[in-house]
Every structure is written in structure tokens, then in C-alpha cells.
């Protein structure tokens, strides 16, 4: 009898353990399903927020004007046309403005990558007088709006001089307004558009890199410059590509500095900002008023032309962008 009781007790214990394991498995599976569901909803929602405006612009850009006033048309045009692109291409002077924007964005992007990589590495690895103060100034560059220094910036390049040397030998200062020199000089010296952010990113990246690599190079007889060029620079390529992407996109879409420094030279964002007014004046005359809906359609078409090169560049460089985010020391 005692043996039978022990057997029944063992079976009951085993049954309770099986039920507990089953409940745990069900709970774990439900938790997994819930997490997948929430994550899917978040991803779909974010994708919708990002892709919906682009899809709407693409749809409107290939509509005929009469589709705008047809209440049965919703996103899918009844009368497909490329006329909007022809009009916008003509009035934006697209080839010229495109190459202006491309040259400016490429040049500033490359110069900012070079300058910010050097400065970021210096802040991350070397000690020098006023290091904390200077890095504090870098942080100030992140928080101070550029509008606060708009007048000094303009005057500096309108009456450009280098410690009075140019005026001493030529008798007058140099006017760099309406040239690309203000962008080149600020980018090459680490004071250009968003350079504070790029220096901070490179500093954090190099701080997160193992010092053993550099110490091994020093043991082998390499100096600081050789170590930086052959050891640290190759591993920083993903972050450099990310900074180039940020710089290229911000410069490509910038209207503040291009409006401040350029008068006759035009870029895509500056032309786009006054596109509807320009088309209205040239197509309908100064006394006529273009339909607001048609003006919005043309602006959407111009926006598509401006955005497409950025999408193409991101598709090519996205692998480096993701890799740099994973390896950077910004988080934590």
C-alpha cells in the first residue's frame, strides 16, 4: 500500500510539473506573439509615416490638372502625364541647378569628413591645453541657432581678409559672396553646416575603439600620423560614410546658407522654394494668379526631382550607414 501511495504521489508531482511547464510554454509563446505583433505594428506605422508623403507626391506629380478637381480621383490618376515634369524641369533650369547642388554637396561633404575625422580623433586620443574648453565650444555649435550669427557670417565673407594681409597688399578686401568659397572654407576648417555634430560623432567613435590597436602600432615603431592613417582610418570608414551622407543630405536640402551666401548662383532647394511664383509669372504673366491646387502639384513634382538623388545615394550607401550605427560609441 505504501508503494502504491508513493507511486500515486510521484504521478501527481509529475503531472503538476507538466502543467507548470505547459503554462510556462504557453506564456512564453503568447509573450513572443505579442512582441512580434507590437513590433510589426510599430514598423508598419513608421514605414507608413515615411513612405506615405513620398507616395502621395509621386501620385500627384503624374496627374493631369483636371484630375485635381475630380472627386473620384484618389491617389491613382485617371489621366497619366509627364507634363508636370516637363514644366518643372524647364523652369527650375534643372541641369544647371542640379550640378550646382551636386558639386556643392559633394565638395562640402568630403571636406567635412576630412576635417571632422581629424578633429574628432584629436579630441578622443590626445591631451592638449584647453581641450575641455574647445570641446565645449564644439557642443555650443550644436545648440546655437545659425540665425544668431547670420550677420557676422555674411560680413566675414563679404569683406574677406586674412589677418589684414589681403588688404595690406591689395588695398581692399575680397568679396566671396555669390561664390562657393564660403562653403569650402567653413567645411574645410570644421566650422561648416552641422560640423559640431560630426565632430562629436567621430570623437565618440574613436573613444569606443580599442586602444590596443594603436599601442601595438606604437610598439612597432609607428608614429601618431602613421597609426591614424594605417590603423584607425580604415576602421572608421563606416562612420565616415555616415557623416558624408548626413553632410550631403543637409547641404543638398539647405536653404539658409545658400540664400545667405549665393545671389545669382542657384541650387535646387532655393529654386524650389520660389518655383510656383516663377512659373506663375513666366507662364501666366504678372497680373494672373495660378490655381493654388496646380501650384501645389508643381511643387510636389519639384520635390520629387529633388528627393530622388538622395534616395539613390542612400540605397547605395545604406550598408555602411547601418554598420556605423552598430559600431559607434554614441549609445551608452
Residue 9 binned pLDDT confidence (cut-offs 50, 70, 90): low
C-beta separation of 234 from 160 below 8 A: no
How many Cβ atoms are within 10 Å of 9's Cβ, its own excluded?
Answer: 10
Is residue 329 scored above 50 in pLDDT? no
pLDDT of residue 28: 78
Q: Indicate the range of 57-61, 184-188, 279-283, 294-298 predicted with least confidence.
A: 279-283
Q: Indicate the range of 112-116, 193-197, 315-319 predicted with least confidence.
A: 315-319
Beta bridge partners of 196: none
How many Cβ atoms are within 10 Å of 162's Cβ, its own excluded?
Answer: 10
pLDDT of residue 108: 94
Is residue 285 scored above 80 in pLDDT? no
Is residue 332 scored above 60 in pLDDT? no
Packed helices 292-327 and 2-61: angle between N→C axes, nearest 10 degrees: 140
CA–CA separation, 302 and 272 (whole Å)? 6
Burial 163-175 (b: 16+ CB within 10 A, else e): eeeeeeeeeeeee
Residues constituting the chain: 332
Note every long-range contact of 10-17, with CB atoms under 8 Å and residues 24 or more positions apart, other chains counting.
Answer: none
pLDDT of residue 4: 52
Is residue 2 scored above 80 in pLDDT? no
Higher-confidence residue of 281 and 186: namely 186
Place of cell 579630441: 123
Q: Please tell me the number of Cα atoms within 13 Å of 195 on its side-chain side.
A: 28
CA–CA separation, 190 and 181 (whole Å)? 14
Which CATH number does 83-327 carry?
A: 1.10.3720.10
CA–CA separation, 115 and 190 (whole Å)? 5
How many Cβ atoms are within 10 Å of 322's Cβ, its own excluded?
Answer: 12
pLDDT of residue 331: 40
**What percentage of the chain has pLDDT greater than the value 70?**
88
CA–CA separation, 171 and 274 (whole Å)? 39
Give pLDDT tens digits for 69-117. Answer: 877 777 778 888 898 898 889 888 888 899 999 999 999 999 999 999 9
pTM for this model (two decimals): 0.80
Give pLDDT tens digits for 44-63. Answer: 888 888 888 888 888 888 88
pLDDT of residue 109: 93
pLDDT of residue 324: 56
Q: In the structure grid, which three cell numbers stand for residue 279, read together? A: 512659373
Nearest to 232 by CA among 117, 320, 319, 135: 117
Give pLDDT tens digits for 18-44. Answer: 666 777 777 778 888 888 898 899 988
Higher-confidence residue of 331 and 250: namely 250
pLDDT of residue 25: 75
C-beta separation of 238 from 324 below 8 A: yes
Amino acid at each position: 500500500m505504501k508503494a502504491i501511495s508513493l507511486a500515486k504521489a510521484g504521478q501527481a508531482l509529475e503531472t503538476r510539473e507538466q502543467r507548470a511547464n505547459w503554462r510556462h510554454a504557453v506564456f512564453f509563446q503568447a509573450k513572443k506573439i505579442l512582441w512580434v505583433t507590437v513590433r510589426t505594428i510599430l514598423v508598419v506605422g513608421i514605414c507608413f509615416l515615411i513612405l506615405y508623403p513620398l507616395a502621395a507626391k509621386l501620385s500627384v506629380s503624374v496627374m493631369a490638372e483636371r484630375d485635381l478637381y475630380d472627386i473620384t480621383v484618389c491617389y491613382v490618376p485617371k489621366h497619366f502625364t509627364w507634363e508636370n515634369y516637363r514644366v518643372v524641369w524647364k523652369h527650375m533650369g534643372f541641369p544647371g541647378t542640379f550640378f550646382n547642388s551636386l558639386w556643392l554637396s559633394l565638395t562640402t561633404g568630403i571636406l567635412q569628413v576630412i576635417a571632422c575625422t581629424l578633429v574628432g580623433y584629436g579630441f578622443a586620443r590626445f591631451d592638449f591645453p584647453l581641450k575641455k574648453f574647445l570641446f565645449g565650444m564644439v557642443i555650443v555649435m550644436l545648440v546655437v541657432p545659425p540665425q544668431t550669427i547670420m550677420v557676422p557670417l555674411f560680413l566675414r565673407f563679404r569683406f574677406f581678409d586674412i589677418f589684414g594681409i589681403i588688404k595690406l597688399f591689395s588695398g581692399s578686401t575680397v568679396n566671396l559672396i555669390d561664390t562657393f568659397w564660403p562653403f569650402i572654407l567653413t567645411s574645410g576648417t570644421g566650422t561648416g553646416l552641422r560640423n559640431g555634430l560630426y565632430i562629436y560623432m567621430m570623437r565618440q567613435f574613436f573613444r569606443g575603439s580599442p586602444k590596443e590597436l594603436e599601442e601595438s602600432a606604437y610598439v612597432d615603431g609607428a608614429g601618431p600620423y602613421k597609426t591614424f592613417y594605417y590603423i584607425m582610418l580604415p576602421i572608421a570608414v563606416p562612420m565616415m560614410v555616415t557623416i558624408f551622407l548626413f553632410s550631403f543630405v543637409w547641404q543638398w536640402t539647405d536653404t539658409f546658407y545658400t540664400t545667405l551666401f549665393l545671389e545669382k548662383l542657384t541650387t535646387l532647394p532655393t529654386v524650389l522654394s520660389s518655383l510656383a511664383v516663377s512659373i506663375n509669372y513666366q507662364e501666366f504673366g504678372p497680373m494672373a494668379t495660378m490655381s493654388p491646387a496646380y501650384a501645389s502639384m508643381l511643387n510636389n513634382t519639384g520635390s520629387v526631382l529633388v528627393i530622388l538623388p538622395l534616395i539613390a545615394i542612400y540605397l547605395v550607401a545604406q550598408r555602411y550607414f547601418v554598420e556605423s550605427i552598430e559600431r559607434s560609441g554614441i549609445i551608452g
